[in-house]
Amino acid sequence: MLVGCMPLVLMVVFALVLQQRRSNWSQVVLKRVLPALSDQYSCEVSADAPSFHTDFVTGKMNVVDLPVKQPQITNIKSRYRPDETLHGNCSSHNSRPAANLTWIINGHLAKNSQLIRYPRIKEQHEKETSTLGLRFLVEPRHFTSGRLKIRCSASIGNLYWQSTEKSIEEEKPRPPQPATPSPTYGNDVLDKDFRDTNRRWPEMNKLPEEHQRSVDETMASNGAAAWAATAPWSLLALLLASR
């Protein structure tokens, strides 16, 4: 009942990083994996006499370096006037591979025309920083109870999902001069308008279920590395046992 993992040299490495307490005949758990271990792996099973039947499966393992910090929102003020242009960035620093970024405005994915894509920046140890710009004209309808919420999320496959939210206040027009009538639009109208378009902001800190699970898994894998199985960034951790 021999189990062999290729490339052969890495068997030695496996022996060093194997967490025996958490490993058994159907899965291996490794500690302190390094990006250099990303490779294609095959595990082979051989039966004893009389059949000497052998079989093997192959899978790709990617070792992922997760960002240390949640995505950072920059150059966005805390107050905007309606009809002012909001223009800022979101960056996720130092991961391998680079994180995918998305912008969400009041609970809705930003349109392509509102995004500015920047090339990834290469960092040390083959890590990368991704940046996604957001630019749009702030309109009265964006504010509900005087607030506009923008959120940037960063993800790496199904192993990592983190987001940062910024709440922006509506800057009211200057107080009217004594003789001038007050502004023509009022909150009642805006709130109604807002409800009509059925915009709803998801509950704070409530990630989609799937993502929540991924974050947990990420923590379980020491926060630094994770395995991949069928698709890229999922996980192979598989040794086959003989019958």
Ligand X SMILES: *[C@@H]1O[C@H](CO)[C@@H](O)[C@H](O)[C@H]1NC(C)=O
Minimum separation from the CB atom of position 142 to ligand X (A): 19
- The least CB distance from residue 156 to ligand X, in Å, is 4
Nearer to ligand X, 54 or 74 (CB): 74
Residue closest to 148 by CA, chosen among 157, 159, 137: 137
Is residue 27 within 8 A of residue 239, CB to CB? The reply is: yes
We find the least distance from the C-beta atom of residue 159 to ligand X, in angstroms, to be 8
Q: Which residues between 16 and 55 bind ligand X (CB under 6 A)?
A: 24-27
Inter-residue contact 45 to 55 (CB < 8 Å): yes
Q: Which among 9, 32, 43, 15 is positioned nearest to 238, based on CA atoms?
A: 43
CB-based contacts of 45, cutoff 8 Å, min separation 6: 1, 2, 3, 54, 55, 56, 240, 241, 242
What x-and-dash track marks residues 62-101 binding ligand X by CB under 6 A? Answer: ------------xx-----------xxx-------x--x-
Window contacting ligand X (CB under 6 A); options: 12-20, 35-43, 153-161, 214-222? 153-161
- Residue 95 contacts residue 156 (beta carbons within 8 Å): yes
- Is the distance from CB of 44 to CB of 128 less than 8 angstroms? no
Site for ligand X in 176-235 (CB under 6 A): 232
Site map for ligand X, 100-129, x if CB under 6 A?
x-----------------x-----------
Q: Which of 156, 228, 236, 239 binds ligand X (CB under 6 A)?
A: 156
d(CA 203, CA 207) in angstroms, rounded, equals: 8
Chain residues binding ligand X by CB under 6 A are 24-27, 74-75, 87-89, 97, 100, 118, 131, 133, 155-157, 232
